Structure 1
Amino acid sequence: AQYKEIGMQYIAIPYLMEEDRPGTEKFLKNIETFKKIGEACNKVGITLLYHNHDFEFVKMPNGQYALDYIYTEIPADLLQTELDICWVKVAGEEPVDYIKKYAGRAPVVHLKDFYKEGKPANMYELIGIETEKKKETGKFEFRPVGHGMQDIPPVLDAALEAGSKWVVVEQDQSYDTPALEAVKMSRDYLKGLGW
């Protein structure tokens, strides 16, 4: 109710800690909790979203990715998508395909660009999550939108086709470029595409 009072239209489930993820005992219980949160949001006119990372792209016993399992188990009126295209791509899937898959259920698309080579081991440290340090065998860094490995124009087209209301630009970390300059680079790139 407090979020509604300040004008929020959406609330997102932002991240699952390791003990809550697919493949753990808590995961199926979490799905039931998500339903309850969705019901509470509905009562005050807020839409609940789920923000993915790459760890939802593991297979469930029925052969579905856990991300798809979540959306199969929870009806669209209780849970919508906030697809993060970086993590969809890192998981080996195509963001455009996933946005189209959830057309009508994807009000917010999370634009995030990156550069990756090899098999980086500590990517979640880059978003402030402490994990057991593993030996790096690659490189991963976030980039301003349009300055990494993502093919952004088809993503924007798919978002429009899917009925998305918002695209949200995120760059978890900026490296050699000051953060506000990186923001400007993302914004200028999108403006150049007519956004």
Structure 2
Amino acid sequence: MAKVGLQLYTVREEMEQDFRGTLEKVAALGYKGVEFHTFFGHGADEVKSILDELGLEALGTHTAYRQMLEHLDEEIAYNKQIGNKILIVPYLEEADRVWDEVFANLKELGKRTREQGVVLCYHNHEFELTEKVNNQTVFDAMYAAVPAEDLQVEMDTCWVHYGGYDPVEYIARYKGRLPIVHLKDMTRDADGKAITAELGVGEVDLKAIADAAIDAGVEWIVVEQDYCGGGKPLESIAASMEWIKKYAAEGGKLNV
């Protein structure tokens, strides 16, 4: 049964101001795991102790591409110490989007992480769906170029939707290679640009996506909201958890 986690980037300002207190609030809302994007200078032993006390799992860490290229062994050691065995490339700057080079680097990074008992994932935005390599989306070209044993999929389903593709179809396409799915809702501004939103208030077909993800055997469904309207991220993640609980009460096979 899939578990529900939170990408802590959603509450980044709260985490920076009160690391432990924010994690306490996240746990109290019912999130089973957390996905880090930074540790705000806290040591691995301290982070592990807090997670254990709160009953939270470290489900993954977003680690900058260049940081992985230059300091992979240190990142692996820290993350293994806190109980996390999934490292995720979170975003590629435009200057880094030389795709043949990226694919080769991901293959090498994946090999090195695998040899140390860690899984490498890649987290998409919309540009991997709108840019092409040899008549394939970058998304598909990447996973065709790098073997599944070296690179797994962390699919941000909102950005798949915003990129013009069906997240349900993409989930089915990558079944068996998909340990984590990001569940995110969105509205649009007057220019059609995405505005991330609490689950259930936007245009994304969240139920269909959650159903497909669970059918595909994902381990984690992760809530993420890049920017929270009104500047109250803790209220936003509470509202999203209410959607999750309603979905589970109506038959969704989630551990909540």
* Structure-2-length-normalised TM-score: 0.64
| Structure 1 segments (4+ residues) deviating >6 Å | none
Structure with the largest fraction of helix: 2
Q: 1:22-56: per-residue Cα shift (whole Å, max 9, x none)?
A: xxxx2211111111110111012111101001111
For structure 1, the residue ranges without an aligned partner over 5 or more in a row are: 119-136
Instruction: For CA contacts below 8 A with separation 6 or more, give which structure has more relative contact order.
Output: 2
> Given the alignment of the two structures, is residue 32 of structure 1 paired with residue 104 of structure 2, yes or no?
yes
Stretches of structure 2 lacking an aligned partner (at least 5 in a row): 1-75, 249-253
Out of 76, 84, 88, the position equivalent to 1:8 is 84
Match for 1:77 among 149, 152, 163?
149
Which of 238, 242, 246 is the equivalent residue of 1:184? 238
Q: Which residue of 2 aligns with 1:19?
A: 95
CA contact (8 A) 1:4 1:44 kept: no
RMSD of Structure 2 on Structure 1 (CA)? 1.4
Cα distance in 2 between the residues matched to 1:160 and 1:141: 26
Matched pairs, number = 172
The reply on whether 1:115 has 2:169 as its aligned counterpart is no
Deviation at 1:117, TM superposition (A): 4.7
- Describe the SS at the equivalent of 1:29: helix
2:115 aligned residue (21, 34, 43): 43
CA distance in structure 1 between the partners assigned to 2:143 and 2:132 by the alignment: 14
The Cα offsets for residues 5-32 of structure 1, whole Å up to 9 and x where unpaired, read as 22112110110101122xxxx2211111
Paired with 1:28 and 1:140, the residues of 2 have a C-alpha distance of: 29
Question: What residue identity is the alignment partner of 2:237?
Answer: V
The partner residue of 1:173 within 215, 227, 238 is 227
CA distance in 2, matches of 1:156, 1:117: 25
Give distance in 2, aligned partners of 1:59 and 1:33.
Answer: 19
Conserved 8 A contact 2:162-2:194:
no
Give the TM-score, by structure 1 length: 0.84
